[in-house]
């Protein structure tokens, strides 16, 4: 007797659409901004919330989103960021966008986990 997988829909995640949303939010929130450590906590929450809410409004059913935002002072130094996830590489996705100006760098990552 052969056991078959349940009928699963192919992912409807649109990576280009998500990149555009993230780029627009970062540009809207940070263009013209000047780095100050007292502002970064609020900015990261606002940016993450806005990206997540915008993703929820898209027609990409069956996804749960996690959005991570990091803001730092632009001083010409390097920074590294990594993430590790256990997921279905055929259906789960992530998108990363960066923003920089003279005083700020920002990295935003949106993880989309498909649920059955």
Higher per-residue confidence, 58 vs 11 = 58
Using CA atoms, how far residue 31 sits from 35, 42, 73, 99, 115, in Å, is 11, 16, 14, 9, 35
**What pLDDT is attached to residue 3?**
43
Question: Average pLDDT for residues 7-24, to the nearest whole number?
Answer: 81
**What pLDDT is attached to residue 100?**
94
Specify the CATH number for the domain of residue 59. Answer: 3.30.1140.40
**pLDDT above 70 for 38:** yes
**What pLDDT is attached to residue 2?**
47
Higher per-residue confidence, 60 vs 96 = 96
Are 85 and 3 in contact by the 8 Å Cβ rule? The answer is no
Q: Is residue 63 part of a domain?
A: yes
pLDDT exceeding 70 applies to what percent of the chain? Answer: 91
| pLDDT digit string, tens, across residues 68-106 | 999 999 988 888 888 888 888 888 999 999 999 999 999
Q: Is residue 68 part of a domain?
A: yes
Q: Is residue 42 part of a domain?
A: yes
Q: Is residue 49 part of a domain?
A: yes
Domain that holds residue 65: 15-114
Q: Is residue 1 part of a domain?
A: no
pTM across the whole model: 0.85
**What pLDDT is attached to residue 5?**
46
Per the structure, the count of domains in the chain is 1
Q: Is residue 4 part of a domain?
A: no
Q: Is residue 23 part of a domain?
A: yes
Neighbours of 90 (CB within 10 A): 10
Q: Is residue 104 part of a domain?
A: yes
């Amino acid at each position: 007797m052969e056991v078959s997988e349940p009928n699963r829909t192919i992912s409807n995640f649109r990576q280009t659409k998500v990149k555009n949303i993230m780029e627009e939010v970062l540009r809207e929130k940070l263009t013209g901004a000047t780095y100050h450590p007292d502002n970064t906590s609020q900015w990261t929450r606002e940016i993450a919330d806005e990206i997540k809410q915008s993703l929820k409004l898209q027609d990409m059913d069956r996804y749960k989103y996690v959005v991570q935002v990091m803001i730092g002072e632009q001083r010409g130094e390097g920074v590294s960021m990594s993430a590790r996830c256990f997921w279905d590489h055929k259906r789960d996705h992530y998108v990363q966008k960066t923003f920089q100006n003279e005083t700020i760098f920002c990295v935003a990552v949106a993880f989309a986990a498909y649920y059955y």
